Every structure is written in structure tokens, then in C-alpha cells.
Amino acid sequence: MIRRVLATTVKELLQLKRDWRTALALLGMPVVLLMIYGYALSFDVTDIRLGVVDQSRTQASRRVVEAFLKSGYFVQKAVLDDSRPLDDLFVAETIQAALVIPADFAAKTSARGPTSILFVLDGSDSQTANTVLGYARQIVVSQTGSLYDVEVQAAYQADPLVWYNPDLKSSIFLVPGLLAFILMVSSVIATALAVVREKERGTMESLRATPIRAIELLLGKTLPYLLVASVSAAGSLFLAWALFDVPIRGSLLWLAVVTLLFLAGGLGWGIFISTLAETQQLAFQLGLLSSMLPTLLLSGFIFPISSMPKALQLVSHIVPARYYIAALRSIVLKGVGPEIWGVQAVALIIYASIVLLLATIRMVRSL
Amino acid sequence: MVSATGLTRHFGEFVAVDKVSFEVAPGEIFGFLGSNGAGKTTVIRMLCGLLKPTAGSGTVAGYDIATRAAEIKNRIGYMSQKFSLYADLTVDENLRFWAGTYQVWGKQFLGRRRWAIEMTGLGSRRNTLVADLPGGFRQRLALSCALLHQPPVVFLDEPTGGVDPEARRRFWDLIDDLSAEGVTVFVTTHYMDEAERCHRVALMHAGKLLALDTIPELKKIFASGSVLDIECRDAALALEHLDDLPGVIDAALFGNHLHAVVTAPEIAQAIHHHLETEGFAPVNSRPVPPSLEDVFIRSIREAEEGRKQ
């Protein structure tokens, strides 16, 4: 048994070594994808083009403008005397937001009475507008105290305190999902070609005439890719930490265990596809489609599962990335132990078992 | 060593193999001759346990093909029609992998590898990729890979397809050696010259076994007559004029010649005269010993006539 698994593993690794393009793709693609998507996929907004209409022209009003510019989120693109030309500037996309400080601003603040400033936003991209509005509120709140030279006293006040991701950086939220996405796609593709390639080249027929058993062939074809996928998973995690400041607060051992469980499921699914498809091309397309779409749409990677329609929420239960992403966020961001993400790990074990069982059944039939 | 009784395989409506029975003795070179689609490969696949028979039974090395496929696979070597080596692995790596699938390792593997390298003559090319080997070497390597576990039976399915005549001759020398060592060789081919090197030949056509015997015995179906090789103009047209002549048992196109089975060699005179008056001059003919192909064509014709009646 071990001899045959070993012989197949060595053979697969040698073939992978000869086929350097595939090897490079399997090892390098996750890293490249992580960098491309990691930088591209961000809900953070910076360098917002700001138009400033300061009709007060006082020290107090200048302090407000300064606070906006110093926050790092805004750059001043236009300074105007009145607010009428703002519309044209928005249409021309010269500015994305405008700050209008009324002439009586200083008078009202020194009188310690209620006052307001106007913050105008381009709402055509609601996602961005929401984020920018959040920044603006934060700046105004932080300025209020210094403007009035006294502490703001209100009946009650909600003090937002964000845990685990205090800066609300979207990369910290997105990168674990991105990791799951990349690892799922690359592990499924890795093995999707493994069996069908033998069928296409005619070597399957010769293998069938040897005493090799389905489970031996399955293990021999899964183990080498588990090795390759583990290496690229480790590389991707390292990059996530180094480039995107994703803190790894939990235990690396648990991280490895959960990742291996997830990879086993992906590789098993690839083998299953490989036993179904008759050509490498079909296997590749099936592998890509069945790993990419569910992981992208139904795993909670980008769209929160809780806001999906009930039917889709049900479907999302058979998407392994759902459990991996949840476990990953728990381990990486919160640093919690298996008592929290144990359920996800069990789900991953169940998924991997079912998929590997299906693959074995199919392998028995094609062997 | 290998036996089949009423072996039958249907693919849907199509009858690929129809009640085939035979017995192969240890050390025998047993040839399966037939055109493409005759059912040769299907018979081999059933015997190797790769395909379940629809009806009938068979044994290989004493094991029932329907129930003991696992035992059979440990005791046979199989060289498939399609390429049975990994082109992206070297000679050495292929040997190591195939040995691994038969659990041949350690000292035993080193010994078998030495044997394989010597047999194939690949001593200086052990680290060459199989993709870069000439066809003849590949076939010999594939054969040696199928023999690493020293099986008593080896099944070769059209082993010499696409290989030059010299390489084919060398390959058959290896088969002779194997047979001398007591290995049973079950080989399919559609090359007549290869079939002549088998101890016994089974002729297969449209799923049926038409004849099975040694070459001299098979050729005895011509005992009642002799074969004339006729060369003339428009041989294909001339063929129609031959069938009706008295004394001509059978006639067939043979390349661009005609082969006529006649009751006596003297008929040649009448054939000459007839063809020349019909405008197929110049006509030349000579008596030839019947080849296996004559036997084959004759057998197919008899089978088809038998079906019509």
C-alpha cells in the first residue's frame, strides 16, 4: 500500500517538476493573486478630492478645514468663495466632496450656541459615500471639543470602540476571504487535471491493469498537491501578514490544521471532477467554475451571508470556504481557540470526508 | 494458462465479442489476428479483468476473470495499444514507477532494473526522457515495464504499431526469448508477418473466432487447391470475371494483384486466355504458397457465406 502511494507521489512530483509552467502556476499564482486582489480589493477610500467654501474666514473655520486635510483622507482640490459653482465641480468630477462653512460659524461657536457646517457628498457611489461620511463625522466629533474649549456634555453619547480591527481597514476583513478563495481555486485546479490527464494520454489503461488500488492512486495523486498547496498557503499567509498587516493573533498550529482540512476538501473535489471529465479542458473549466463562483459569492468573502436571501443562505452551507473563512477570521483576527471555531473545523472535516469518499467511489469505477 | 469459454461482450446492441473459446498453454506465443474493430482488444481487456464479460467465462493463471481480477492483475503484464509509458519521465523513473505499482522494490528492483536495461539496450539512455526515445526503444521499454514483476503471462495489445520493420523484428526476438523462458505471450496484431511468428493463431472477425490453429494447419484449408498470384491490368475489374470461371474456387484482391484459389495449377492457362480476351492484357500468373492473409480472407469469406445460407 505505502509503496504504491509513494511510487505515485514521487511520479506526480517528478511530472510536476518537468511541467514547470504548472508548477510555477500552482506555487506562484496564489501569491500573485493575493497581491493583485489584496491591493485592488479594498473598501478603504483615501485622497478624496475636497472642495472648500470657507465663508467664515476665521481661525475657528480654518481649524476645521485643517482637521479635514490633516486626517489623511482628504486633499483640497478647490477653494471657493460661495457654494454656487460646486455643482459644476461635482459634475466635472474635480471634487468628490465639499465642505461649506457658513459666515456666522465663528460667531456662533464663540457664543457657544449650536452651529452647523455643511458637508456635501457625491452619492452616486453609495458605498464610497457612506465611508466618506463616516470619516467626516469622526473628524467633526474630534474637533468639537477643541472648538468650544470645553468638553462636550450630552445626556448620553455612543462611544464607538472597534475591536480586532480598530482602524476598520477593509484589507484585514478581506484578506482571509481572499486567501480562502485563492487556495480553493488553486487546490481544485491542481488535482482536477490529475486523473483526466492519464485518461487522455492512455496511461490510465495501463494503470488499470496493474494491481494498484483506487485509494492508493487517490492518495498518491492528492499528497503531492497537498504538499505544494501547503507551501503556497504558507507563503500567502506570510504575505498577508507582511503586506496587508493582517495580524496573526492565534496559534500557527491551529491555523495549519484548519488550512490542511480545507485544502484536503479542495483537492478531493478536484480529484472527483477529474474522474468525471473526459478531457483536461473540461476538467479545468469545471474545476474553475465550481470553485470560483461559490467561493466568491456564497462564502461570506465579500457579501455577508446574513444579508443573503434565505435560500442562498442554505446553499452557502455546502461551500467549504464559508467555514474556512469564519475559522480563519477567528484564529487570525481574534486569536481564539478551537472552542470558538471548532464547529467550522468539524464542518470542514465533514466536507473533506464526503468529497474524498465520492472521489474514491468514482476512482474505483474508473480504475 | 489462459482459457476462455463462450466469452461474450455486448456494448449496448453491438456484439463486440461473440462466444469466443480458446485455451493457451504455458510458454506459448498465442496470436490474435484481425482487423481493427474485430474484437481483439475487447477480449484482452476481459482477460485482464478490465472489463466484465456479458456472458461466458475465462481463467488467467488459474483465476476466474469475473471474480478474481485482483489476483490476476498481480500475475499478468499488460502492454496496451495506447502508449503505456510516461513520456515526461525518464527511462529510470518509468521503471521505478511501474515497479512501484507491482510492489517491486529494494534489491529485487535493482535486479529487475538491470535486467530491463540490458533487455532494452537503453544502458546509456537511462536518464533520457521517454519522449525523446525512438519508437522501437519505447516499445521495448514498455514491454520491460510490464515484465518487472516477472508475471507468468503477458498480454500485448498491438505492441508494434507505428514502429519500423527492424524494430519490430527485434521486438519479436524478445518475445521468442520470453516464450523460451516459459512466459505465456498473448499478442494481438494485424501484421501478417508477425502472426507467422506465433505458435498458434486465432483469426478474429466481427467479434467471432473464425479459425484457431498452428500456421501450417491453417494453411491446409487450401489442401484441395492451390493459390495463383495474377498480375494484370485493372485488377479490381478483372476480379469480377474470375469468379465465374470453372475451376476457380475463390478470388480476392491482394494489393494490386489478384489471388485466386483454384482446383489445380493447370487452370492458369484458362484464366490467362479468359482475361486476355476480356481486355485485361498483359496477364502474368504464378503459383504461390498460401500466405496467412489468404487464409484470413478465405476464412472471412466462408464465414460470411455461411451466414447468408
| ipTM of the complex as predicted | 0.81
Same domain, A179 and A299: yes
What value does the mean pLDDT take over residues A162-189?
81
Residue B129 belongs to a domain with what CATH number?
3.40.50.300
Q: Is the pLDDT of residue B163 over 80?
A: yes
> Residue A111 belongs to a domain with what CATH number?
3.40.1710.10
- Verify whether the Cβ–Cβ distance B83 to A8 is below 8 Å: no
Mean pLDDT across the stretch A17-38? 86
For residue A63, tell me if it sits in a domain.
yes
Instruction: Choose one of A148, A182, A204: the last residue of a domain.
Output: A148
CB-based contact, A17 to chain B, within 8 Å: no
The per-residue pLDDT of chain B, averaged, comes to: 88
User: Could you tell me the pLDDT band of residue B24, with boundaries at 50, 70 and 90?
Assistant: very high
Both A216 and A311 in one domain: the answer is yes
A176 with A134, same domain: the answer is: no
The mean pLDDT of A306-311, rounded to a whole number, is 88
Work out the minimum CA distance from B146 to partner chain A, whole angstroms.
9
Beta carbons of B172 and B152 less than 8 angstroms apart: no
User: Distance (Å) from the C-alpha of residue B167 to the closest C-alpha of chain A?
Assistant: 22
Mark whether B261 and B296 lie in a shared domain. yes
| Exposure b/e, B254-275, CB count within 10 A at least 16 = b | beebbbbbbeeeebbeebbebb
B261 and B177 in a common domain: no
β-sheet with B226-231: strand ranges across: B248-254, B257-262, B226-231, B284-288
B11 touches chain A (CB under 8 A): no
Instruction: Chain B: give the shortest CA distance to residue A196, in Å.
Output: 14
A260 inside domain: yes
pLDDT in tens, A90-114: 888 888 888 888 888 888 777 777 7
| For testing contact with chain B, the best of A205, A217, A364 (most B CBs within 10 A) | A205
Look at the block and give the residue holding cell 493573533: A249
Say yes or no for a CB contact (<8 Å) between B102 and A202: no
Q: Which of B175, B195, B213 is the last residue of a domain?
A: B213
For residue A99, the SS3 value is strand
Same domain, B11 and B136: yes
What is the pLDDT averaged over residues B189-212? 89
Give which of A208, A215, A364, A365 to mutate to test B binding, by max B Cβ within 10 Å: A208
Q: Which residue of B has its CA nearest to A211?
A: B73
Q: Does some domain include residue A163?
A: no
Residues sharing a CB contact under 8 Å with residue A271, sequence separation 6 or more, in sequence order? A191, A192, A194, A195, A218, A221, A222, A356, A359, A363
Select from A88, A118, A148 the last residue of a domain: A148
Inter-chain touch A212–B87, beta carbons under 8 Å: no
pLDDT band, residue A275 (cuts 50/70/90): very high
Is the model's pLDDT at B11 over the cut of 90?
Answer: yes
Among residues B44, B28, B40, the alpha carbon closest in space to that of B199 is found at B28
Question: How much is the pLDDT for A214?
Answer: 92
Stronger pLDDT, A331 or A171, i.e. the higher one = A331
User: Measured between alpha carbons, how far is B309 from B307 in angstroms, rounded to an integer?
Assistant: 6
Write down the pLDDT at residue A253: 93
Q: How far is B102 from chain A (nearest CA, A)?
A: 7
**A299 and A176 in contact (C-beta within 8 Å)?**
no
Contact B97 A206 (CB under 8 A): no
Contacting residues of A for B74, CB less than 8 Å apart: 211
pLDDT of A150 strictly over 50 = no
Instruction: Assess contact for A132 and A73: CB atoms under 8 A.
Output: yes
Chain B interface includes A152 (CB < 8 A):
no
Query: Which of A7, A18, A19 shows the shortest C-beta gap to B101?
Result: A7
> Percentage of residues in chain B with pLDDT exceeding 90?
53
Same domain, B6 and B135: yes
DSSP codes joined into one string, chain B: -EEEEEEEEEETTEEEEEEEEEEE-TT-EEEEE--TTSSHHHHHHHHTTSS--SEEEEEETTEETTT-HHHHHHHEEEE-SS--S-TTSBHHHHHHHHHHHTT--HHHHHHHHHHHHHHHT-GGGTTSBGGGS-HHHHHHHHHHHHTTT--SEEEEESTTTT--HHHHHHHHHHHHHHHHTT-EEEEEES-HHHHTTSSEEEEEETTEEEEEE-HHHHHGGGTTSEEEEEE-TTHHHHHHHHTTSTTEEEEEEETTEEEEEESSTTHHHHHHHHHHHTT--S-EEEEEPPPHHHHHHHHHHHHHHHHH-
Domain that holds residue A52: 48-148
Looking at the structure, tell me whether residues B137 and B55 fall in a common domain.
Answer: yes
The verdict on B209 and B287 lying in the same domain is no
Task: Output the pTM of the full model.
Answer: 0.78
pLDDT mean over B155-165? 88
Q: What is the pLDDT of residues A153-170, one digit of tens each?
A: 434 545 556 676 666 677
What are the CA-CA distances from residue B92 to residues A16, B20, B78, B105, B124 (Å)?
A: 17, 39, 19, 13, 11
10 Å CB burial of residue B129 (0-12, 13-18, 19+) is middle
Under the banding of pLDDT at 50, 70 and 90, the label for residue B307 is: low
Domain endpoint, select from B196, B213, B230: B213
Instruction: Give the confidence band of B101 by pLDDT, cuts at 50, 70, 90.
Output: very high
Q: Work out the mean pLDDT of chain A and round it to a whole number.
A: 86
Q: Which chain A residues are Cβ-neighbours of B84 within 8 angstroms?
A: 202-203, 205-206
Residue B41 CA to residue A141 CA, distance in Å, equals: 84
Residue A22 confidence class, pLDDT cut points 50, 70, 90: confident
pLDDT at A152: 40
Same domain, A212 and A289: yes
Same domain, A82 and A121: yes
Mean pLDDT, to the nearest integer, of A188-199? 92
Which of A7, A15, A209 is facing B73, going by the closest CB pair?
A209
Question: What is the number of domains present in chain A?
Answer: 2
Do the domain assignments include residue A62? yes
| Same structural domain, B167 and B236 | no
**Above 70 in pLDDT, residue A11?**
yes
Residues B122 and B229 in one domain: no
Question: In degrees rounded to 5, what are phi and psi of residue A245?
Answer: 55, 30
Same domain (yes/no): B194, B71 = yes
Q: Which residue of A has its CA nearest to B69?
A: A211
pLDDT mean over B131-143? 92
Is residue A161, in this structure, part of any structural domain at all?
A: no
Average pLDDT over residues A9-26: 91
Rg (CA), chain A: 28
Task: Compare CB distances from B73 to A8, A14, A210 and report the shortest one's residue.
Answer: A210
Q: Is B171 on the interface with A (CB under 8 A)?
A: no
Most confident of A203-207, A249-253, B102-106, B152-156: B152-156
Q: Give yes or no: residues A33 and A69 share one domain.
A: no
- Dmax over CA atoms of chain B, in Å, equals 76
Q: Does B228 touch chain A (CB under 8 A)?
A: no
In a domain, A86, yes or no: yes
In sequence order, the β-bridge partners of residue B230 are: B258, B285
pLDDT band for A172, please (50, 70, 90 cuts).
confident
CB A284 within 8 A of CB A195: no
Contact of A19 with chain B, judged by CB distance below 8 Å, is answered with yes
CATH number of domain containing B301: 3.30.70.100
Q: Is residue A252 part of a domain?
A: yes
Asked whether the beta carbons of residue A211 and residue B74 sit closer than 8 angstroms, the reply is: yes
Say yes or no for a CB contact (<8 Å) between A210 and B70.
Answer: no
**Cα–Cα distance between A77 and A169 in angstroms, integer?**
25
Q: What burial class does residue A256 get, using C-beta atoms within 10 Å of its C-beta: 0-12 exposed, 13-18 middle, 19+ buried?
A: middle
Task: Decide if B61 touches A, using CB distance below 8 A.
Answer: no
Q: Please check the confidence at residue B296 and state whether its pLDDT lies above 90.
A: no
Q: Are residues A283 and A356 in the same domain?
A: yes
Same domain, A347 and A205: yes
Statement to judge: residues B46 and B82 lie in one domain = yes
Q: Which chain A residues are Cβ-neighbours of B101 within 8 angstroms?
A: 4, 7-8, 207, 210-212
The rounded distance, in Å, linking the Cα atoms of B18 and B20 is 6
A325 and A211 in one domain? yes
- Provide the domain limits for residue B27: 2-213
Contact list, B100 vs chain A (CB under 8 Å): 3-4, 6-8, 10-11
| A3 at interface of B, judged by CB pairs closer than 8 A | yes
Q: How confident is the model at residue A151 (pLDDT cuts 50, 70, 90)?
A: very low
Cell 498577508 sits on residue: A240
**Is there a domain that residue A155 lies in?**
no
CA distance A353 to chain B (A): 26
- For residue A148, the model assigns a pLDDT of 56
- Partners of B129 on chain A (C-beta within 8 Å) are 18
Residues B99 and B180 grouped into a single domain:
yes
Size of interface A-B (CB pairs under 8 A): 76
Q: Do A195 and A339 fall within a single domain?
A: yes
Torsion of CA B188, B190, B195, B199, to 10 degrees: 20
Q: What percent of chain B has pLDDT over 70?
A: 98
Whether residue B279 has pLDDT greater than 90: no
Q: Using an 8 Å Cβ cutoff, are B279 and B232 in contact?
A: no
pLDDT for position A154: 39
Total number of domains constituting chain B = 2
Phi first, then psi, for residue B21 (nearest 5°) are -130, 140
CB contact under 8 A, B74 and A207: no
First to last CA, chain B: 37
Contact state of B83 with A210 under an 8 Å Cβ cutoff: no
B100 touches chain A (CB under 8 A): yes
Is the CB of B97 inside 8 Å of chain A's CB atoms? yes
- Which of B135, B130, B101 has the alpha carbon at shortest distance from A15? B130
**Which of B153, B180, B213 delimits the end of a domain?**
B213
Q: Clarify whether residues A183 and A279 are in a common domain.
A: yes
Q: Are residues A29 and A53 in the same domain?
A: no
What average pLDDT does this structure show over A239-262? Answer: 90
Q: Is B78 on the interface with A (CB under 8 A)?
A: yes
Mean pLDDT of the region A214-219: 94
Pick from A319-333, B4-18, B42-56, B232-246: least confident: B232-246
Q: Do B195 and B48 belong to one domain?
A: yes
